[in-house]
Amino acid sequence: MLTQLSIKNFALIDSLQVEFDKGLTIITGETGAGKSILLGGLALILGKRADLSSLKDTTRKCVIEAEFSIKKYKLKNFFETNDIDYDHHTIVRREILPSGKSRAFINDVPVRLGVLNALGDQLIDIHSQHQTLQLTDNQFQFQVIDTLANVTEEVVSYQTLLNAYQKSKKELQKVQEEQADLEKEHDYNMFLLKELEEAKLEGLVLADVEAQYERLNNAEDIKTNLSASEQLLSDEQVGVLHLISELQTTSGKLSDIAPEFQQLSERIKSVYIELDDIYSEVTNLQANAEFDPEMLEQIAGKLQKIFDLQKKHNVLTVEELLSIQNVLAEKAQVSENIDDIIIAKEKELQQLQSQLKTIATTIHKKRIAGIPTLTEQLETMLGTLGMPNARFNIKIAQTDQFHANGMDDLEFLFAANKGGNFNELKKAASGGELSRVMLCIKAILSKYMQLPTIMFDEIDTGVSGEVANKMAKIMQNMGKSMQVFSITHLPQIAAKGKQHFKVYKEDVNEVTTTHLKQLQDDERVREIAQMLSGAKILDSALANAKELLKS
């Protein structure tokens, strides 16, 4: 419910601040007084785009702020989804800067216009003769029927299943496409995989293989150099070991002479032991340094295979080749299992399809059962609004197609006159008749669900007398369970309001400004009397106005 509205520097409004109550609120004023400006300000709060022409003074920013009581609207999920602070008393603010830029806030949290628009749809429904086209929208017609048929929960469950069904269908299609692609690539992929597997790359260190190749390829040089090393170490005359042995004997004699030579003797002994160990290792290496042409050929072939594979797959390391091997192995596995995956997906799709048909049948039966109630209420209510011969023929047929809200096709047919043929609403009803039909539908819906604040903008155009009085009664009854605004030129409707505001213009210093004023009892009497008799208020009009306010 809209509880407060503040408008600053918008169109002909300099500054306006007003509080609203629940029930039926009436807004009146002469043609051109600025009622459309008020609606324009509200439209900005609901997410309509704005421009600099909205500013009364283009040097100052325009600020429109509205406070809503939303405790009954079940909007917490909306606020959480959009990361907005929730409050039972929510404040929506719109600012238009002199630069032309626009900003929107919900509870002081900056939001995009799309978010503001989505929230606005759930807060205020501004209805005029132009909005009666909504009546001809198939989805709106379904919403009306589903509300009376009490099938909203089933429709939500159906939509959840439909999303799962569509997702599963896309997944199946994707797997089937993958299967076709895999079949085309399977033979070639298997050839590549076999090549990589035969190279035995798992655990292979390329540097070790290259070092082994170098040893085998230089075996003769290795043997020659090891032999020379052995000779240098072991020659009986000039070998290093022989000379160190003699040095060790000499140093031993020195250590016997004086203790200070003992350390020198120990060091020479250590050198001899180390050289003797080196000699043993050189001897062993020389014994094992045999030329193996067969092994050399095998290692050379392995290296060449690895280099060829790296070039083929455009990589530089064995690790990258192994990664490619794993991908190919996974594709091979998928190719082998894809038939099973497709069978499982098809089974899942069939189950979802069966569940959808079951719940769609439930929805269909409930809709059929709810149609007579809707038809009876609409025809009865329209009869009181000067359309006694209005008839509805609402047909629902179940199809084999999964629609967004079930498997039904809907025909919402109407005949305004006795003996007239049934036709689509937009073809069978005039603008004024559509307005009355919409009023009746909104009134009926208000009995079954919590509707947002509704604002009827001159919905009473083209009616008068008792019909206007009946329309006023309907809006008054709606106001018992929700907040209703009616912008009207009819005194019969104006008299039924719980509160009454007047829009008027005032010229000060040759500047025209629009104002909104709440009328008190005496002021309401004069306003309604003026609506009855014109600018010159007659005594009879005043008396009539008082009677209307009492009724």
Residue 170 lies in a domain: no
End-to-end CA distance of the chain: 26
pLDDT at 462: 76
Residue 42 sits in the same domain as residue 112: yes
- The residues, any chain, with a CB within 8 Å of residue 484's CB and separated by 6 or more, are 23, 24, 25, 453, 454, 455, 456, 475, 478
Residue 203 sits in the same domain as residue 294: yes
In one-letter notation, the amino acid at residue 47 is G
- What are the phi and psi torsion angles at 381 (to 5°)? -65, -40
Residue 9 sits in the same domain as residue 81: yes
Domain end marker among 288, 312, 337: 337
- The residues, any chain, with a CB within 8 Å of residue 348's CB and separated by 6 or more, are 168
pLDDT at 451: 85
d(CA 257, CA 177): 97
Task: Assign 477 to helix, strand or coil.
Answer: helix
CB 531 within 8 A of CB 59: no
CB 143 within 8 A of CB 134: no
Token code pair at residue 485: 């605004």
pLDDT at 132: 62
Residue 147 lies in a domain: no
CB neighbours of residue 141 within 10 Å: 18
Task: Assign 121 to helix, strand or coil.
Answer: helix
- What are the phi and psi torsion angles at 441 (to 5°)? -65, -45
Residue 460 lies in a domain: yes
CB 176 within 8 A of CB 342: yes
Q: Tell me: the pLDDT tens digits for 359-386?
A: 999 999 999 999 999 999 999 999 999 8
Task: Assign 12 to helix, strand or coil.
Answer: coil
- What are the phi and psi torsion angles at 28 (to 5°)? -125, 175
Residue 114 sits in the same domain as residue 199: no
| Domain of 85, in residue numbers | 1-123+452-519
Which H/E stretch holds residue 109? strand 109-110
Q: What is the pTM of this model?
A: 0.67
CATH code, 506: 3.40.50.300
Residue 357 lies in a domain: no
Q: Quick one: what percent of the chain has pLDDT higher than 90?
A: 44
> What number of CA atoms fall less than 13 Å from residue 98's CA on the CB side?
4
Residue 119 sits in the same domain as residue 223: no
CB neighbours of residue 519 within 10 Å: 19
In one-letter notation, the amino acid at residue 48 is K
Q: Where on the phi/psi map is residue 395: left (φ > 0), alpha (ψ -120 to 50), or beta?
A: beta
d(CA 67, CA 104): 14
For the chain, the average pLDDT equals: 87
Angle (CA) 468-472-474 rounded to 5° is 115
More confident residue, 254 or 287: 254
Token code pair at residue 368: 């059929």
Domain end marker among 337, 354, 369: 337
Residue 187 sits in the same domain as residue 111: no
Look at 260-264, 386-390, 445-449 and tell me which has the smallest mean pLDDT.
260-264
d(CA 56, CA 52): 9
d(CA 483, CA 2): 8
pLDDT at 425: 82
Residue 11 sits in the same domain as residue 97: yes
Q: How confident is the model at residue 288 (pLDDT cuts 50, 70, 90)?
A: low
Token code pair at residue 290: 């045999």
The number of angstroms, rounded, from the C-alpha of 389 to the middle of its chain's C-alpha atoms is 47
pLDDT at 365: 96
Q: Is the predicted pLDDT of residue 64 greater than 80, yes or no?
A: yes
Residue 370 lies in a domain: no
pLDDT at 155: 94
Q: Is the predicted pLDDT of residue 53 greater than 70, yes or no?
A: yes
DSSP bridge partners of 456: 127, 486
Q: Give the gyration radius of the chain's Cα atoms.
A: 46
Q: List b or e across 216-232, with b for residues whose CB sees 16 or more CB atoms inside 10 angstroms.
A: beebeebbeebeebbee
CB 508 within 8 A of CB 40: no
For residues 452-478, give the mean pLDDT: 87
CA-to-CA separations, 224 to 215, 277, 290, 346, 410, in angstroms, rounded: 13, 20, 11, 73, 100
- The residues, any chain, with a CB within 8 Å of residue 106's CB and separated by 6 or more, are 79, 84, 90, 91, 92, 115, 116, 119
Residue 135 lies in a domain: no
Domain end marker among 337, 362, 382: 337
d(CA 313, CA 325): 11
DSSP bridge partners of 410: 396
Q: Is the predicted pLDDT of residue 319 greater than 70, yes or no?
A: yes
Residue 215 sits in the same domain as residue 319: yes
CB 202 within 8 A of CB 323: no
Q: Is the predicted pLDDT of residue 142 greater than 80, yes or no?
A: yes
pLDDT at 33: 80
Provide the number of structural domains found in the chain.
Answer: 2
pLDDT at 472: 92
Which H/E stretch holds residue 105? strand 102-106
Q: Is the predicted pLDDT of residue 527 greater than 80, yes or no?
A: yes
Q: Is the predicted pLDDT of residue 178 greater than 90, yes or no?
A: no
Residue 290 sits in the same domain as residue 199: yes
For residues 111-128, give the mean pLDDT: 90
Q: Is the predicted pLDDT of residue 347 greater than 90, yes or no?
A: yes
CA-to-CA separations, 185 to 193, 484, 487, in angstroms, rounded: 12, 67, 70
The number of angstroms, rounded, from the C-alpha of 249 to the middle of its chain's C-alpha atoms is 94
For residues 251-256, give the mean pLDDT: 77
